[in-house]
Amino acid sequence: MSEDFPTNQTEWSVSELSAALKRTVETTYEHVRVRGELGRVTLARSGHMYADIKDDRAVLNTVMWKAQAGRLNFRPEEGLEVIATGRLSTYPGRSAYQLIASSMRPAGVGALMALLEDRKKKLAAEGLFEPQHKKPLPYLPATIGVVTSPTGAVIRDILHRLEDRFPVRVILWPVLVQGDLAATQIEQAIRGFNQLPAPDRPDLLIVGRGGGSIEDLWPFNEENEVRAAFDSDIPLISAVGHETDTTLIDFVSDQRAPTPTGAAEIAVPVRNDLFLTLQEHGHRQKRALARLVQLRQERLQRFRLPPPERMVEARRQHLDHTARRLETGLLQLSARKRLRLTEKTGGLRPETLRADLRRNRLKLHDLMARAHAAQAHVQARCSSRLAGQTALLTALSYQATLARGYVLVRAPDGAIIRTARDASVLPSMDLRFHDHDLSVAPIGDRAQKPGKAVRRTSDKAGSVRQGKLL
């Protein structure tokens, strides 16, 4: 038993017991190495990492402070088997023991390769490695953005190779290329280059670092950095490690270079080769133009064209002949037209015109007389028919019917009475004759026999007479 944890003390406070227990655990287990599977990995804003290291029977709370967590060359993930080195301690606030880890590494290369294979399958299933997503590289970029460490040999190799081949503008975005923070910085650099305005935005990106172990190259296998490379609108060349090294960024980049120097060779052509190519093209163009001129001269000579004056002479003579023929033709045409006009107007003399006028007047007078006679005949026929229709209408009229002895019987409301039954129930009736109107009313009691009624007549002077209706 440790001296910090005396057994002869009979009464303890909770704080004293926790402190004594903490000193005893830290002194007894000052340096331990634990192997297990990571679970519940949490990266705090302060930079500290909290995780569980577990096996099938126990769980050990683990803490790694910011200084040590920043030196990790891989990203701790749940399910990864690791070997952690540190010291045991206690956390009195929860009455729990924990491991204060000073270092951590994957439990062998096999674990990292298995994790790498699982992540590769996941990204491939999402289509990030498909060839149709690859963008063509610019033939001669004006500005190249480089994402790498500012102090390593990578940037020097790239600049030296660009200077030899074709000097262009280079913008360096300094990042860490190893450790737990490297992947985040590389992601920020790629996205930052894509967000630059047009004058400063590169035409091509190179992401690179030198060779190393799989642990050293692990930041280029992180998912966030791989997705940033896939989302880049600027064409990207990956130049990570040596030719035999392969990382996930190589699969999403638009082109992979075996080395950073190889990336510079892919990025730009050789300036001297371009000069030689341009000179060769210029010589070929001159030879082609000379040959074309020669061919055109030979073709022109084959035509053997006469001098321009001779070509114009023939046309001029043809024009003179045509002008003379035109003048003669116009004179002949005018004579023929004049002759035809004389023939057409030869019979139009004043005596003939006056005789025709007299004949036409006589014809017009005769036609007018015949028209008047026809009009009178039609008018007489229409008058005779109108008289007959008028006489027929008069004979069939309302007044003529009453004159023949008929009487029109009406009720006081003006309705026509057609039967004696209808007349027997009326208080009075109006009789219309041809010459007078007669109003008839019952005499005495209305119950008297039909046919007994008072007769009142009104003559033209308005007098009223009474009588019996027989």
Query: pLDDT band at residue 464, thresholds of 50, 70 and 90?
Result: very low
| pLDDT tops 50 at residue 446 | no
Confidence of residue 460 (pLDDT cuts 50, 70, 90): very low
Least confident segment among 211-220, 246-255, 269-278: 211-220
| Highest mean pLDDT pick, 209-223, 242-256, 300-314 | 242-256
Sequence-ordered strand ranges (E) for 142-192:
143-148, 169-174
User: Is the predicted pLDDT of residue 227 greater than 90, yes or no?
Assistant: yes
**What pLDDT, on the 0 to 100 scale, is given for residue 109?**
57
Q: φ and ψ at 208, to 5 degrees? A: -155, 165
Provide the pLDDT confidence category of residue 449 given band limits of 50, 70 and 90. Answer: very low
pLDDT band at residue 348 under the 50/70/90 scheme: low
pLDDT digit string, tens, across residues 59-86? 888 999 888 888 887 778 877 888 889 9
CA 374 to each of CA 371, 380, 381: distance values in angstroms, whole numbers, following the listed order = 5, 10, 11
Residue, of 356 and 272, whose pLDDT is higher: 272
**What's the pLDDT at 111?**
66
Q: Where are the alpha helices (DSSP H) in 240-307?
A: 248-252, 260-267, 271-303
Distance CA 437, CA 117 (A): 130
Q: What is the pLDDT of residue 390?
A: 84
pLDDT of residue 176: 92
pLDDT band at 454 (very low <50, low <70, confident <90, very high): very low
CA distances from 161 to 164, 275, 413 (A): 5, 18, 129
Q: Distance between CA 459 and CA 3 in Å, rounded? A: 165
Which of 153-162, 205-214, 231-240 shows the lowest mean pLDDT across its residues?
A: 205-214
Mean residue pLDDT across the chain: 82
One-letter-per-residue 3-state SS of 71-136:
CCCCCCCCCCEEEEEEEEEEECCCCEEEEEEEEEEECCHHHHHHHHHHHHHHHHHCCCCCHHHCCC
Percentage with pLDDT > 70 across the chain: 88
Mean pLDDT of 335-362: 76
> 190-204, 339-353, 435-449: which range is least confident on average?
435-449
Instruction: Give the residue with greater pLDDT, 174 vs 96.
Output: 174
Q: Considering all CA atoms of the chain, what is the largest pairwise distance in Å, rounded to the nearest integer? A: 176
pLDDT in tens, 148-173: 999 988 999 999 999 999 999 999 99
Phi, psi for residue 9 in degrees, rounded to 5: -80, 130
Please tell me the predicted confidence (pLDDT) of residue 257: 93
**For the residues 39-56, what does the mean pLDDT come to?**
86
Residues 239-259, buried b or exposed e (16+ Cβ, 10 A)? bbbeeebbbbbbbbbbbbbbb
CA distance 9 to 114: 54
234 or 178, higher pLDDT: 234
3-state helix, strand, coil in the chain (%, to 5): 45, 20, 35
CATH of domain 141-269: 3.40.50.261
17-43: pLDDT as tens digits: 777 877 887 788 888 889 888 888 888
Is the entire prediction scored with pTM above 0.75?
Answer: no
Percent of the chain with pLDDT over 90: 28
**Angle between the N-to-C axes of helices 153-165 and 260-267, in degrees from 0 to 180, rounded to the nearest 10:** 30
Check pLDDT > 80 for residue 327: yes
| 208: confidence class by pLDDT, cuts 50, 70, 90 | very high
> What pLDDT is attached to residue 185?
94
Between 454 and 398, residue with greater pLDDT: 398
**Ordered alpha helix ranges (H), 198-259:** 223-231, 248-252
Q: Within 10 A of 407 (CB to CB), how many other CB atoms are there?
A: 10
Do β-strands 437-442 and 429-432 pair in parallel, antiparallel, or remain unpaired? antiparallel
Q: What is the pLDDT of residues 91-137, one digit of tens each?
A: 777 778 888 998 888 776 566 777 788 888 999 999 999 999 999 99
Residue found under tokens 């390769």: 113
Domain boundary assignment for the chain:
14-107, 141-269, 272-303, 402-465
Domain 14-107 in this protein, CATH class: mainly beta
pLDDT at 346: 60
Highest mean pLDDT among 4-13, 16-25, 141-150: 141-150
Res. 337: pLDDT tops 90: no
Quick one: which of 309, 75, 80 has its CA closest to 180? 75
pLDDT of residue 465: 39
Residue 86 burial (C-beta neighbours within 10 Å; 0-12, 13-18, 19+) = buried
